[in-house]
Amino acid sequence: MASSSTSVVVSNKEKENKNTKKVTLKSSDGESFEVDESVAMESQTIKHIIEDGCANNEIPLPNVTSGILSRVIEYCKKHKEAAGESEPSVTSYTSNSTTNPLTEWDTEFVKVDQNTLFDLILAANYLDIKGLLDLTCKTVADMMKGKTPQEIRETFHIKNDYTPEEEAEVRKENQWAFE
Amino acid sequence: MKKAKQFQFQVQPLINNNNNNNNNNGLSFSYFDLLSEEIVFTILDLLTPNPLDKKSFSLGCKNFYFLESKHRRILKPLRSEYLPKVLTRYPHVTHMDLTLCPRVTDATLTNIAGACNSNLVSVDLSMSKFFTGVGLLNLAVKCENLVELDLTNATELKDGAAAMVAEARNLERLWMRRCRMVTDLGVGCIAVGCRKLKLLSLKWCVGVGDLGVGLIAVKCKDIRSLDLSYLPKLDMSSCEKITHIGLSSVFSCTICLEQVTLANGCSVNLDLADSLNKLSKLQSIKLDGCPVTCAGLGAIGDWCVSLKELSLSKCLGVTDEGLTYLFMKQKDLRILDITCCDKITDVSISHITSSCTDLSSLKMESCALVPREAFILIGQRCHSLEELDLTDNEIDDEGLKSISKCSKLSSFKLGLCLNITDEGLAHIGMSCVGLKELDLYRCTGITDSGILAIAGGCPGLEMINIAYCKEITDDSLLLFSKCAQLNTIECRGCPHITSLGLAAIAAGCKQLTKLDIKKCYKVDDAGMIPLAYFSQNLKQINLSYSSVTDVGLLSLASISCLQTLTILHLKGLTPSGLAAALLACGGLTKVKLHASFKSLLPQAIFEHLEARGCLFQWREKVFKAELDPKCWKRQLEDMMQ
């Protein structure tokens, strides 16, 4: 571990001068990824690590594999580009963003198998990247829309632990008790 | 500053060996097990808007049931007999919407108060009548975080009950529309008890006058929005009720006031308008139905610092002169309502569109003197428009072509616009992708090809009115079935529509909440069965003059939230069929039917239904001229056998 004497604390004023400053992220399986600091700071977790001065130019992420980390970096790069050099992008998935050019890209981005999707959720949560968390959670939500309970079970490999009587009771309550 | 989250689960999936699940692929592990509660809640937040989706989720497994129970904050009970169980199931409810519950009694309120306690933040009682001050007191005392309460339509509520409401010390928003038995005394109690009140609506509270309103002004220093519409006015000479002098003194106290509604109140002359100058934060004024003078409008222009919303709907005295001056001064207007200002011409429209380019909502129904060319200006200049009501105007296809430039358009009303055709509508369909509401009431120039443009171009459509667009066929309904967000469809008087079209709608539009197929003569029971199966969100339906019979009507009973039923002149309806359907539809709150049935069913049935919370509206309307009088009479005789 190199003992660097240069401080890595970044303030808002200095951000403009640090456009090309890079930071290295290390995945759980030992792979290193060098990225622009501004891209890495799409992750609030990484942002705090850097701001706290704990970076030492290499940030270990023991909970994220290289496969997932490379995808996360891809997301951050794309969204950072789209937002320009200003604030970290805040994309809203609640509105009908039919005019948002990123929407198509995002839609393709989440066309992955369930294993990867859930890993992305966990990574987005751990790294605190709101846009990615919302995107991946919305994808899961969309996978449930319009489905019957059995279809939801099949999609997500859920074991049905209701007895037939219990299930009938809940079904009745769901239908008649409230909207 | 947030710390980096502690990550608790391994990313590698754990395969459980001892499993006796019924999945075919042998995997008993679900990725859902990896997610924290917080993440699942985020997913549930995004599982909107169909309430059935969360219900399906809760049936997935017991863990999902538990998670959904913890997640739910907004509850809309349907039947009060299920309420105790539901309250146990959902311990974290913050918003209780009782508008779908036909019978809310003091016992219901006490139950809710006891179960929800300090979690409860908002209660909507606006369709309920059977409770008294006793229930309200329980609510106010046990739910100390209650911030929002809607008592609209509580017409039996008296001052005593209002005094109970005053015990809800943290109340910020209170609606008491139509509480006509409440007087200055009740309002005074509220003023003294609910010091944090920010919004108060006393619309139609005809027992309230200067004294009550004055007390609110003095005691509730945080008041931001006040609706005093329809409070009776007398001559200026009598100071008994609301007068402009009373208002003036109100305004001098309520300096935070941002929104004032004085519909059908005093005449808006110079004196009243001058008193507005004390309200430096005023952003919204609604003067619907108030007679205005030029001087009054001028004073509003002068005194209001930066008005965002102005409503002069149905105000007598609005002229080009008054509006021109007003708009020269008020350039920040976002919302403007000039419905029925039938003296204004293209001069006003020209001024409005050049001054207020940020306009997001414009309502100008029945501005009879505005020529068709003026609408082109709207499209050219006001590109921020989201809501546009041009009902009953001269607009033509050229105007529509121009307005299609308003790409943010979300709600568009073109009812009774007889000069528009499919061509104009095609422009809208191509450019206004965000369109959610479209009203084409009696636009007889519209056919299936216009609908093709809209249904294809506006997939987010939520509400459509094609009533009396006589050329429309099932093809249009098939197109609409692709608009998955559609919740309101009004297609009355479309004689070519059949059960086939309706079946497509039922299958495709799962959010369907309101359906009006009056005078769609070809729709029969075959259309009702798909509705009964698919449309579990249907609350309101009008089947008058259709070919639906007892069987079709009865099948609708499987729709648990069905509340409003209008069934006039159904030739296939018999007294016993009607009785069966009414009894089976447990959530009915309003039924409109022909007065002849009153004597054809046992009185006990109506009494039972009314006790269950159902209101009957009887109509004497004679069957319309399509059928000759002899035929109708024979049908009536048939029904009486």
Residue-wise DSSP of B55-96: HHHHTT-HHHHHHHHHH--EE-BS-GGGHHHHHHH-TT--EE
Cβ atoms B42, A141 nearer than 8 A: no
Beta strands in B94-252 (DSSP E): 95-97, 122-124, 148-150, 173-175, 199-201, 225-227
Nearest residue on chain B to A148, alpha-carbon basis: B56
CA B607 to chain centre: 29
Q: How far is CA B226 from CA B85, B177, B223, B244, B247, in A?
A: 38, 12, 7, 15, 11
pLDDT at A158: 93
Residue A77 to chain B, least CA–CA distance (Å): 21
Q: What is the pLDDT of residues B406-461, one digit of tens each?
A: 999 999 999 999 999 999 999 999 999 999 999 999 999 999 999 999 999 999 99
Residue B485 has pLDDT above 60, yes or no: yes
Chain A interface disruption, residue of B6, B30, B108, most A CBs within 10 A: B30
Whole-number mean pLDDT of chain B? 87
Neighbours of B34 (CB within 10 A): 18
Q: How confident is the model at residue B232 (pLDDT cuts 50, 70, 90)?
A: low
**Who among B3, B460, B560 is closest to A176 (CB)?**
B560
Distance CA B148, CA B633 (A): 53
Please report which helix (H) or strand (E) contains residue B43, including its range: helix B37-45
pLDDT at B568: 93
Structural tokens at position A82: 């789209």
pLDDT at B241: 47
Residue-wise DSSP of B329-371: H-----EEE-TT-TT--HHHHHHHHHH-TT--EEE-TT-TT--
When pLDDT is averaged across residues B50-63 and rounded to a whole number, the result is 94
Measured at the CA of B633, the angle between CA B630 and CA B638, to 5 degrees, comes to 125
CA B2 to chain centre: 40
Residue B404 has pLDDT above 80, yes or no: yes
Nearest residue on chain B to A150, alpha-carbon basis: B60
Q: How far is CA B317 from CA B66, B290, B307, B436, in A?
A: 61, 9, 20, 34
Structural tokens at position A130: 């709101």
When pLDDT is averaged across residues B286-312 and rounded to a whole number, the result is 87
Q: How confident is the model at residue B508 (pLDDT cuts 50, 70, 90)?
A: very high
When pLDDT is averaged across residues B516-528 and rounded to a whole number, the result is 95
Q: What percent of chain B has pLDDT over 70?
A: 89
Distance CA B359, CA B353 (A): 8
The region of weakest confidence among B357-361, B527-531, B596-600 is B596-600
Local structure of B15: helix, strand or coil: coil
Between chains, do B61 and A126 touch, taking CB under 8 Å as contact?
Answer: no
Q: Which residues of B touch A133 (CB under 8 A)?
A: 39, 42
When pLDDT is averaged across residues B629-637 and rounded to a whole number, the result is 49
**Who among B28, B42, B561 is closest to A179 (CB)?**
B561
Q: What is the pLDDT of residues B448-483, one digit of tens each?
A: 999 999 999 999 999 999 999 999 999 999 999 999
Q: Is B346 left (phi over 0), alpha (psi -120 to 50) or beta?
A: alpha
Q: How confident is the model at residue B640 (pLDDT cuts 50, 70, 90)?
A: low
Residue B3 has pLDDT above 60, yes or no: no
Q: What is the pLDDT of residues B113-152, one digit of tens each?
A: 999 999 999 999 998 888 999 999 999 999 999 999 999 9
Helices A164-176 and B51-58 cross at an angle (nearest 10°) of 160
Distance CA B63, CA A152 (A): 13
The region of weakest confidence among A45-59, B316-330, B407-421 is A45-59
Q: How confident is the model at residue B242 (pLDDT cuts 50, 70, 90)?
A: low
pLDDT at B6: 37
Cβ atoms B500, B525 nearer than 8 A: no
When pLDDT is averaged across residues B267-282 and rounded to a whole number, the result is 77
Residue B166 has pLDDT above 80, yes or no: yes
Residue B639 has pLDDT above 90, yes or no: no
Between chains, do B57 and A48 touch, taking CB under 8 Å as contact?
Answer: no
Residue B93 has pLDDT above 90, yes or no: yes
Cβ atoms B334, B308 nearer than 8 A: yes
Q: Which residue has the higher pLDDT, B253 or B627?
A: B253
The region of weakest confidence among A119-128, B262-271, B620-629 is B620-629
Structural tokens at position B361: 């909502």
**Who among B5, B29, B433 is closest to A126 (CB)?**
B5
Q: Which residues of B touch A64 (CB under 8 A)?
A: 11
When pLDDT is averaged across residues A30-53 and rounded to a whole number, the result is 91
pLDDT at B590: 93
Between chains, do A121 and B39 touch, taking CB under 8 Å as contact?
Answer: yes
pTM: 0.77
Q: How confident is the model at residue B223 (pLDDT cuts 50, 70, 90)?
A: confident
CA-wise closest residue to B477 among B488, B467, B491, B487: B491
Cβ atoms B265, B236 nearer than 8 A: no
Q: Which residues of B touch A98 (CB under 8 A)?
A: 433-434, 460
**Who among A44, A94, A145 is closest to B2 (CB)?**
A44
Interface A:B, Cβ pairs < 8 A: 163
Between chains, do A122 and B1 touch, taking CB under 8 Å as contact?
Answer: no
Residue A54 has pLDDT above 90, yes or no: no
Q: What is the pLDDT of residues A64-97, one digit of tens each?
A: 999 999 999 999 999 988 887 444 444 444 444 4
Nearest residue on chain A to B510, alpha-carbon basis: A146
Distance CA B86, CA B116 (A): 11
Q: How confident is the model at residue A55 (pLDDT cuts 50, 70, 90)?
A: low
